[in-house]
Amino acid sequence: MQTDLQPRSLADWFELALSDVRACKEDPRYRISMCDWHDPGVRQCNVCLAGAVLARTLKADPAKHVVPYWTTAPDSAISDLLLAINSLRQGLIVSAASYMRGDAKRLLTPASYEQCMRLRQATGGGDRLYYVDVSEWLGADNVEEEGEPLHYNEADYECWLADMGRVLDKLKELKL
């Protein structure tokens, strides 16, 4: 698994995650499911938004189960980045910024890191002021016909993507 990542802003990492989830949605090896990080299924590897980063950017093997807070994660900085992306998926901007300290600092540009720390200090770590209300889209329908692929509710997916765009806009506005 790739671990030599260049520093980016938190907004750029989130934009990369959105690009990765779109690519995974088109890749027959993957099934988008916000209930799984990177979990090999019977026919497809189930991935959430952060799991899509594991699959595409970090090149995790689709046959391997990988989650950020177990021993399967590549390192603590990447684990914290994945947890931050998961917080952003839920509209929790301050929580995401809070993950980007310690070892994870190396994955952010200096300006983005400073903004994350300022935001965290200014809010006392609470998400109330910078919460983005997002829809809870879980991914492929849970009902599977025998031998038939799982189907997406495209309207829910498009609504979710629009909500993720609002989160990205907020990250850019806050210069994260």
2-45 pLDDT, tens per residue? Answer: 777 899 999 999 999 999 999 999 999 998 888 889 999 888 99
108 within some domain? yes
Q: Is the per-residue pLDDT at 72 higher than 70?
A: no
146 domain-assigned: no
Of the pLDDT bands very low, low, confident and very high (cuts 50, 70, 90), residue 148 is very low
What pLDDT score was predicted for residue 43?
87
Identify the pLDDT of residue 120. Answer: 86
For residue 114, give its domain range: 10-135+153-171
Reported as a single tens digit per residue, the pLDDT across 108-146 is 999 999 999 998 888 876 767 677 777 666 554 444 444
Query: Could you tell me if residue 142 is inside a domain?
Result: no
Half-sphere exposure (Cβ direction) of 112: Cα atoms closer than 13 Å: 22
Residue 142: its pLDDT value, please? 43
Taking the model in full, what pTM does it have? Answer: 0.87
Residues 6 or more apart whose Cβ sits within 8 Å of residue 142? none
Domain count, the chain: 1
Does pLDDT of 169 surpass 50? yes
Q: What is the mean pLDDT of the chain?
A: 84
Calpha distance 92→113 (Å, rounded): 17
Looking at residue 144, its pLDDT comes to 45
Query: Average pLDDT in the 60-79 region?
Result: 80
